Structure 1
Amino acid sequence: MRDISVPALAAPLRSGGLADSVFDTAAHQPDFAQLARRDDRAAGDWQEVSAKEFCDEVMALARGLLADGVRPGTRVALMSRTRYEWTLFSYALWAIGGQLVPVYPTASAEQLRCILNGAQVTAIVVENEAHAMTVAEACDAQSRLRRLWQLDLDCIRRLMEEGTRLADADVHRLRHAVAPDAVAAIVYTSGTTGRPRGCVITHANLAAQCDTLYAGWGGLLAAPGERPSLLAFLPFAHIYGLMVQVACLRGGVKLAHQPDPSSDQLLPALASFRPTFLFAVPYVFEKICARARLAAEQAGRLRTFDAAMTVAVRYAEALAEEEQGGRGPDPFLRARHALYDRLVYSRIRELLGGRVRTAVSGGSPLFRELGLLFAGLGITVYDGYGLTETSGAITAQPPGRVRFGTVGLPLPGSAIHLALDGEVWVRGAVVFAGYLDDGADEGGSGLYDGWLPTGDLGHLDEQGYLVITGRKKDVIITSNGKSVAPQGLEQRLCAHPLISQSVVVGDNRPYVAALITLDPEALEQWRQLRGEPGGAGEGPSPEEQLQAEVRRAVARANASVSRSESIRAFKVLPGEFSQDAGLMTPSRKLRRAAIVRAYAAEIDALYAQGKREEPATRRDRRRWAATGLYAR
């Protein structure tokens, strides 16, 4: 099987633009709770914003932008964390036909310069003084930037006051002139394998994405009788986060914002807002597990926790086998699962507010065992696959038919073709209009008769579900000619609570090796619980125990591959790969080539030593493959 398509579920956008949904909802349901904001007067409380209140703010800001010189087609960059004002500015801009250019709040001056000049941005919204300084550093002779508005200097109020001299009719006239094929956003790719490119996303692209997801998956957003609600914490500068924002406003899901996505801030926000659904990336699901595991270790319940996680994976796997005609969980496994649900799983669900029963993972494929683990915890994670060029998702797990380890079927209205070399090609209404630098030497629009070559490798299983196996440019060819896709090994390494990042290397080398970084929070807790090194004859020191723990994680990862694909040597690095060092994109994807260049000496040393890790015994390989994600 090399081709598969799914009929469309939602009608295409035939007129108007994205801002129309805000005005339509306000006209027909003015008291509808469209959003929620933090109440500054009561810490931790949320204040609802009605459809009419939000629409009035969008109108006032749209008048202000118009009064300050923004016109249809004007490209306005927005450099901010995920917050209420982000949504307000984007919809005000769309209401007058402007074009949004999202920028990560962590962008460097060089990255910002590339975006400002490449998209010919004439105005920018920033969050604070630090961002304004970055803009000043980024501007050069090629810059066309003429306006800068700063959120923490009350720019919204000043713009709204300036807009009072214009009439609502001035905004409505421009809004009604917006066509579905008009440009809504210029979203830049992460640039993991080259310089970032501006993707032209139309109003119709985003509407097709969001309307399709709501038509097919809307029933998963909340339990019967509950009002769907979602806490957005993904960066809106990423197409995934931008899609989540639009989907909420078009689908009637109450939207709230969390600017700080760190676990220390995110988990309390989730607990107080109590969303019914979760959009996240694999990293977030991994951190939730890691945080729960740390809490269990601090409380002296680590053995119980690890046993519960093993049962969760086995239970979910048995249920998946039952759906395929297998036996399903035996009575003993069901009883253990019910016990751990009361003791462990319910507490993890409370970390997310207690109401989440389904979630979506995107950004990168979800590790199969992690999907099984959450299913066993009582939260079904629907994995999907997409790119900036596909306005978000292009595949998704069908409702009620999850196949863990895959990224699902084509989104309704979309199609997938597998090239002879395994590259995934896609087409559909969600596929972008082309690159901003259409016609440039590096490939023009990127489309071939409507088909987009993704650069990702994969295959379709017996039921037509897509399995992503890696990137074409990431495949490692060892000196003995063996092809190794590093993604699976890296995912299995990062499944260990101590390991935060890993990069598998081995191009033109005799065997595969790995660079490994450790999670600082988990490492600190691990060391505190083990104390100071003992004296002579008192057993291995904590550092020796740490090396042994990482060695076991490597052996468990090796248990999933053949001997020739296994990791024979590894290096634990003193710090994590960071965006500031140019080793990671703002969406947390590792820049593999940059890492290999930066750590060339360490990689050379791994092979110069000629030291290989002892392979796992056959017994160990069977045991590690069977015990699940966190079992020792």
Structure 2
Amino acid sequence: MDNTPSPFRSVPDMFASRVAESGDREAFSYPVPSPTGSGEKWETLTWTQTRDRVRDMALGLHSLGVTSQARCAIAADTRVEWILADLAILCAGGASTTIYPSSPPPDCAYIVSDSGSMVAFAENDEQVAKLMGQRGAMPGLSRVIAFEGDAGGDDDWVMSLAELEARGAELHAEKPELFGELVASVKPDHLATLIYTSGTTGRPKGVRLDHSNWLYEAEALRIMDEEIRARGWEMLTPDDVQYLWLPLAHSFGKVMQVSQLRIGYKTAVDGRVDRIVDNLAVVRPTFMAAAPRIFEKVFNRVVMQAKEGGPTKYRIFRWAVGVGDRVARLREDGKEPTGLLAAQHRIADRLVFAKLRARFGERLKFFVSGSAPLAPEIGRFFYGAGITILEGYGLTETSAGAFLNRPGQVRFGTVGMPLPGTEVRIAEDGEVLLRGGSVMRGYHNLSGATEAVLDEEGWFATGDIGVLENGRLRITDRKKELIKTAGGKYVAPQSIESRFKSLCPYVGNLVVHGDRRPYCVALVTLDPEAIGTWAEANGLGTLKYPGLTRDPKVRAMVQEAIDELNEDLPRHETIKDFAILPSELTVEQGEITPSLKMRRRAVEERYRDLLDGMYEGSVQSL
């Protein structure tokens, strides 16, 4: 079923090959505080230097008793040490268990305990304290290794990363052949990664991904690149520069790691979301992967700045957006603008779009978008501005990557065509089924759960509803999130929510509600940064976030966007009423996952009384 065989036995084998081929080329760059105490500077690691650090860490883990497929957890933000630790775990023969640093202590303890992790890497004192506070709930955890901080004080249960590397260096001096033997012992069917899905409902499930899953992803991307080159386009080369900020606890971030090992490009690593825009100008990447929320925020900021420039500047901006949209639609059909439209686009580029591209360092080839739907309107806005967003699709259970739009074959509203070697079919009820080398081997410690989604022929039931259009997949909604109104009409809330974000730059989330109800209503959250700027321009600058959510002017602004949204919706999908929530949706309250996916049921339960109030006086069928 997987017709994309890899030339490598394991991820460590692929890593060793990359080191042998690329040696002194730069592998990573990362920010460190400046020695003078002012600002920061970027340091680099070559592939050889990376190998040396990974080797010492891997041998240090071996000295702590890490053996074949033994689980080691990582609780940290995206940083170069995360990548080094992950590679070290795999090279020692172990398997990485990922933990979001935002996870509360009980969740951390559950993942460590359920996975059977014997060692845990912790980013700093905060993460160390979480684990120490739950020590009694994790009897199998023998050691915590801290990237930074005081390493737990005098507690021998905690050691520093430097101490681990020192242990490994000593062992390497005694047995220089040991590292190579460990790498050679790892097999394709060995467990490589245990990722706990953040889940929109219920307790997270551990997804078991072995080395062959990641080898498939890396090889499929390489083959896809060859296919793209044959059409005169270019995907990735060893000379490219990736800016990596994605959470590495998520499979999307992980697939960008293994792609780097196969292709050999350089990666600039910094997980601080508030530094993305500033870092783009410093790193000047040729590509970057991101969730749609990042593109929504950039779009919102551009719209706000255009409005702040006054009526004339905003009219020019709106005109340019209209021109860009027409050009984007032509390019989706494989055509280029001519005549008057081409001339208009050149003017729009000089006045608006060139300034936007400059923000991204002016070397950008494309963005990759995944983990949630991208509003087609936002995709076309960037495309018309000369910035390509390649939307893809996959799940943790499919090693993140299953579909991707290709350069020169972009079609917004779809997630593109399957990766080489991935098969797709649509079930009778519309559910998307996948088969191929990316599909997980099963869930961890969950009897019956694997069989519920993975049949004997290898077909995985994604839980998503979709259609195939000329080989491209269009995801219409989550199977479990489809709304059926009291009148028997079906509503796909995700597409409505995605569309709304492109209409109102001041909104963070829209939650459409209406299952077994007579009509649809919505809960709205505001984007704190965007609404603050809007408030200053509209005489409400003294109000804090809660006050703005109650202000009539804010409601009128949101109502205007709701009205515009409703104009293009069938009657049964229109939003009849809405409420602006007094606070954002947060991970801590369980309303969104660490990967920024909304937990619809949790939000609806928390605001049940508010939702019920919007149906008072109506005849309900509950």
2:509 is aligned with 1:504 = no
Which amino acid letter does the alignment assign opposite residue 292 of structure 2? P
CA contact (8 A) 1:13 1:180 kept: no
Matches within 5 A, 1:559-570: 559-570=567-578
Superposed CA offset, 1:493-520 (max 9, x none): 1222011101100111110101011101
Residue aligning to 1:267: 277
2:485 is aligned with 1:478 = yes
Decide whether aligned partners of structure 1 residues 296 and 399 sit closer, same or farther in structure 2, where only a CA change above 3 A counts. closer
C-alpha distance in structure 2 between counterparts of 1:174 and 1:352, whole Å: 41
CA contact (8 A) 1:438 1:444 kept: no
Decide whether aligned partners of structure 1 residues 375 and 453 sit closer, same or farther in structure 2, where only a CA change above 3 A counts. same
Which amino acid letter does the alignment assign opposite residue 250 of structure 2? H
Which amino acid letter does the alignment assign opposite residue 12 of structure 1? P
Q: CA deviation at 1:445?
A: 7.0
Q: CA deviation at 1:46?
A: 3.0
C-alpha distance in structure 2 between counterparts of 1:122 and 1:565, whole Å: 50
2:244 is aligned with 1:232 = yes
Judge which range, 314-323 or 360-369, deviates more: 314-323
Superposed CA offset, 1:371-420 (max 9, x none): 11111010111111100000011111134211111111111101111110
Decide whether aligned partners of structure 1 residues 88 and 142 sit closer, same or farther in structure 2, where only a CA change above 3 A counts. closer
Residue aligning to 1:615: none
Q: CA deviation at 1:282?
A: 0.8
Matches within 5 A, 1:60-459: 60-141=56-137, 143-153=139-149, 155-166=160-171, 167-217=175-225, 227-262=239-274, 265-300=275-310, 301-321=313-333, 323=335, 329=337, 331-440=339-448, 443=451, 446-459=454-467
Residue aligning to 1:523: 531
C-alpha distance in structure 1 between counterparts of 2:416 and 2:326, whole Å: 21
Q: CA deviation at 1:318?
A: 2.9
SS at match of 1:16: coil
C-alpha distance in structure 1 between counterparts of 2:381 and 2:589, whole Å: 33
CA contact (8 A) 2:225 2:236 kept: no
C-alpha distance in structure 2 between counterparts of 1:205 and 1:441, whole Å: 20
* Aligned residues with identical type, % of pairs: 34
CA contact (8 A) 1:187 1:238 kept: yes
C-alpha distance in structure 1 between counterparts of 2:488 and 2:195, whole Å: 38
Q: CA deviation at 1:226?
A: 8.7
Q: CA deviation at 1:250?
A: 2.1
Judge which range, 287-296 or 480-489, deviates more: 287-296
CA contact (8 A) 1:26 1:52 kept: yes
C-alpha distance in structure 2 between counterparts of 1:467 and 1:508, whole Å: 26
C-alpha distance in structure 2 between counterparts of 1:169 and 1:394, whole Å: 38
SS at match of 2:615: helix
CA contact (8 A) 1:199 1:389 kept: yes
Q: CA deviation at 1:600?
A: 0.3
Q: CA deviation at 1:231?
A: 0.9
Which amino acid letter does the alignment assign opposite residue 46 of structure 1? W
Judge which range, 542-551 or 520-529, deviates more: 542-551
C-alpha distance in structure 2 between counterparts of 1:548 and 1:145, whole Å: 54
* TM-score for the superposition, normalised by structure 2: 0.90
CA contact (8 A) 1:504 1:512 kept: yes
C-alpha distance in structure 1 between counterparts of 2:241 and 2:597, whole Å: 28
Q: CA deviation at 1:74?
A: 1.4
Decide whether aligned partners of structure 1 residues 542 and 107 sit closer, same or farther in structure 2, where only a CA change above 3 A counts. closer
CA contact (8 A) 1:16 1:177 kept: no
Superposed CA offset, 1:317-343 (max 9, x none): 1333464xxxx6463322222112112
C-alpha distance in structure 1 between counterparts of 2:383 and 2:390, whole Å: 10
SS at match of 1:450: coil
* TM-score for the superposition, normalised by structure 1: 0.89
SS at match of 1:392: coil
Which runs of no fewer than 5 residues in structure 1 stay unpaired?
A: 534-540, 612-632
Q: CA deviation at 1:437?
A: 2.2
Count of residue correspondences: 591
Q: CA deviation at 1:368?
A: 1.3
CA contact (8 A) 2:442 2:450 kept: no
Q: CA deviation at 1:196?
A: 1.2
Q: CA deviation at 1:469?
A: 0.5
